[in-house]
Amino acid sequence: MSKKSNKSYFVSGISTEIGKTIASAVLVSALKADYWKPVQSGDLHHTDSMKVAHLAAGKIAQIHPEGFSLNTPASPHYSAEIDGVSISLKDFKLPVTDNHLVVEGAGGLMVPLNDKHLIIDLIDELQLPTILVSQNYLGSINHTLLSIEILKRRNMPIKGIVFNGPSTPSTESYIKQYTNVPVLFHLPELKEVNPRSIQQFAGGLTLNL
């Protein structure tokens, strides 16, 4: 367990391919934090850990090894089945660190880890507050509100929302007003996603974490 668990955060999203890794790189750069990916499904030659290490180069404190590295780019429960691997919640232990720790999930909250447990169960097991990454698209209000509703229903702490990509003020203001969850920052669509652009953006943030 992290010695500073109140400074550890679990980054999840309202769907897959929503910008969790870019948001994690920003958080790591801004906080000079450690990073941990409990489950990597597919892309083992270009993992999220590798992406964050590249984007936060010079700012990241430490990349901790993935808990599971699975070959197939699919839901962890299916990827593990293909690899002949069994995933249990008890397999996951937070890396021990004196530093801030950013933990990045796989897909959204309701993505299955095994036949009984979901990503949200892993967050609960690790006892971490969630940072939820949202993106504006048709249906994103529904997906964002549902994600926040299930976290609240289970009495799980939500640290805040990160909006990623082109801004739609009416959508963002509605989500903020309806949920009463703070918006940590809005990451605009970047012309180039590279260490310079990520760290320049992170350097201008004032995070209330």
Residues with active-site annotation? 37
Nearest to residue 142, comparing CAs of 175, 105, 169? 175
Q: Position of tokens 């391919």?
A: 17
Which runs of E-coded beta strand occur in the chain?
A: 8-13, 34-36, 39-41, 63-64, 68-70, 101-108, 130-135, 158-164, 183-187
The dihedrals phi and psi of 24, each to the nearest 5 degrees, come to: -65, -40
Summary count for the chain: helices (H), strands (E): 7, 9
